[in-house]
Every structure is written in structure tokens, then in C-alpha cells.
Amino acid sequence: MKKRVLALAMAAAMAVSLAGCGNSGSGAAETKAASDGQTEAAADANAPAAGGSGQTIKLICPYGVGGTADAIARKYALVAGKVHPEYNFIVENMTGGDGFSAANWYTDQDPSTKDLLMFGCGVAYRHDLGKAYQTEVVDFDRNDIYPVALVDDRTWIMYAKPDTSLAEILEKSKTGGIKMSGGNPLSDPHLALGSLIAQEGGKVMVVPYDGGAAQKKGLTDGEVDVFVGTTQAGQEDVEAGTMVPVLAFSDKKFEGFVGPNGPVEVPGIAGDAKDPALNADTDYSGSILPAGGFIAVRTGADQAWIDEIAQISKDVWAAPEYSDWIAEIMLNKSEAYGDDAKAYLEGGCAKALTAFETLSGQQ
């Protein structure tokens, strides 16, 4: 049994010292669930997601009850049990290490296990950084985890207090540095914002909070300058006018938010959507990191089981109960399976390493 991963002490120290620096992506998602997903997330963590009588399949969620990752796991389990009643899917929360504890436990399981893992992009990114740059101790090999289906694809949004402009945030980052909430040091939100600010000649420091609600409160209380999180995390606050979406880490304008005065368009960081406050001659596309997560199996699982999980996931996406809910919370309706899902993750990992090199000045 491999030892448990150590705390993020080294990464936290780096957050203060790295040039351009100052949550796995899933850390930033520790916020209340939306619509009916909230009700499901509040249920007993070990209760069956759908009351089937078939073979029980456990889905391990590396984050606590009530966060975006947990809500997605429960919605997936609920719908999967309905479209495939031969299985009874349950969600088990296994917290710790911002996703590392569950990954560490899962890679100790035999490849024949039928347990599934919600595997986040941010965990994979931190794994690779730990292996390449010793940013933290990593006691598992992510190659022992095979992503079968993309079920959670997010656009990171930078939020600020009302009447705050991107130009003001950029100027402050250059003159004294800004503070951000949204995950832990070297989470994917930090890699995204930190690499962008580094190209602007500024600095970001991460202030860790336990969960999305606290991350947002850090912004509204004035403890941090910006919060980087999911669309779902800020949906109700934007509507209430307590915070505003300033920037989308995307090559497209983000549409869907509604503020007190009506629909809100959020500029991106590349292409025609690039915010005019950003340098027109600078390529910020390296800060657009894939975010979200996958339904994963242990590498070495029987191919028939991999194919079965892929088909179940396709059927879940085909069910309006899942796909419409994803649209309601403004996540992206993106699908990838098998080797395509793995390639999607590998591409993200390569971008994360480059983003780290940018924000740490190692290029």
C-alpha cells in the first residue's frame, strides 16, 4: 500500500514565491449544487442513486457532498441507473488531498475492480507537475487510471466585485500583485490565471479556502481580488449582483449569465472574443486549460467492461435528464470516449506543464 500523499506544503510555499503566481480543478468546484442536483447531493453519500436491484457499481467522488463534482457524480449515477437498470450505481465520497487521496486509493485496487472513479483534470495536472518539478509528493501513477468518458467539461470564469474592470485587475497585478481564490496553489484555475497574469508582467497569490462557498465569500468580503470558478459557482451571485463575471478562459465570449440588468456577455482571452484590456499582440491561448473530469476505470480493466462503461456514458449523455441539466448549470455539453477521452486529457496535461513554466518563469 503506497503511503498517503503529503499536504500541499511545497506548492503553497511556491504560491508566494513563483513569478506570476501568487484548487484540482475540482477544488474550485466545491460549491453548492444547482437545481435538482443540489437535492441529490444532499442525500446520504452512500445511498443508491437510483433504486435499481441489479449489480451495485460504486462511483468514487474525490470531493465532498455539495460540490459541482459531487453533483455531477450523483446526476450521472441517477441517470445511469435509469437507462441501465441492470446496474445499481451509488456514489461514495472519498475526500482528502484535493483529489489525491481518492486517486491514491484507486490505483491500489486490482484492475478487475468494478468501482469507478470521477477523475479530474486538475488531479492529473498536479500529478504531472509533481513528477516533473517536485511541486508536491505524488504517491500514485496516473497511468493506472484510464479515462473512459468525459462527463464534466467546464469553462473557468474569473469573477470580481461589482464595478471592477479587467484593466484595474491587470494594473493591480503589476503594481503589487493580486490575490485569488479558487482551488489550491497549482490547481487548474491557478494555472490558468497565473500563466495569463505572468504574460502581463504581474503576480498572483492563491489564498486557499475550504470549498466554493468560502472561496466566493473571500471575494465578497474583500479578502481576495478575484475568484476563479465554474459557471455554476457564480450563477446565482451574478444574478443577485453580488459579483460579476469579468473574464472567460475561452476563445469565445461566454453567454448565459443573467445579472440584475439582464443578460451578461463575458469576454474571452483569445480570438475575436479577446477582451480589449489584454495585449492585442500576446497569445494567451495557453491559459485555456481543459477543465472538468471523466468516468474512469483502472488501467488493465477488461475491454468488455471499458466498452460497457463507454456505452452507459453515451446513454447518460443521450438522456435529457442529464444533458439538459448540464446546460442549465452552464457547463459544456462535450463528449469523448475511450482513446479520445485519454487524448483529451493528455492534451490538457501538456498545456498545464507549459502554463506552469510560464507562471514560474522557467521558460
Residue 214 three-state SS: helix
Cβ(257)–Cβ(235) under 8 Å? yes
Give pLDDT, residue 317: 98
**pLDDT for position 53:** 62
Q: Which amino acid is at 230?
A: T
In 3D space, the residue among 150, 154, 78 whose CA is nearest the CA of residue 296 turns out to be: 150
Question: For the segment 258-311, what is each residue's pLDDT rounded down to a tens digit?
Answer: 999 999 999 999 999 999 999 999 999 999 999 999 999 999 999 999 999 999
The residue type found at 115 is D
Look-up: residue for cell 506552469?
356
Convert the pLDDT of each residue in 300-343 to its tens digit: 999 999 999 999 999 999 999 999 999 999 999 999 999 999 99
- In order along the chain (363 residues), what is the average pLDDT of each group of 10 residues? 38 40 37 37 42 83 88 97 98 93 98 98 97 96 98 97 97 97 92 97 92 89 96 93 98 96 97 96 97 97 98 98 96 97 98 96 68
The pLDDT, as a whole number, for residue 41 is 38
8 A C-beta contact, residue 289 and residue 192: yes
- The pLDDT value recorded for residue 37 is 38
Question: At 178, which amino acid appears?
Answer: I
Domains and their CATH numbers in the chain: 24-154+290-360 (3.40.190.150), 157-287 (3.40.190.10)
pLDDT of residue 12: 39
Structure confidence at residue 212 (pLDDT)? 78
CA distance 134 to 130: 4
Distance of alpha carbon 33 from alpha carbon 257, whole angstroms: 17
Which H helix or E strand runs over 145? strand 145-153
Question: What element of type H or E holds 120?
Answer: strand 116-120
DSSP string, 105-116: HHTTS-TT---E
- pTM here is 0.86
The one-letter amino acid at 73: A
Instruction: Assign residue 132 a region (left: φ > 0; alpha: ψ between -120 and 50; beta: otherwise).
Output: alpha
How many Å apart are CA 350 and CA 331, to the nearest integer?
23
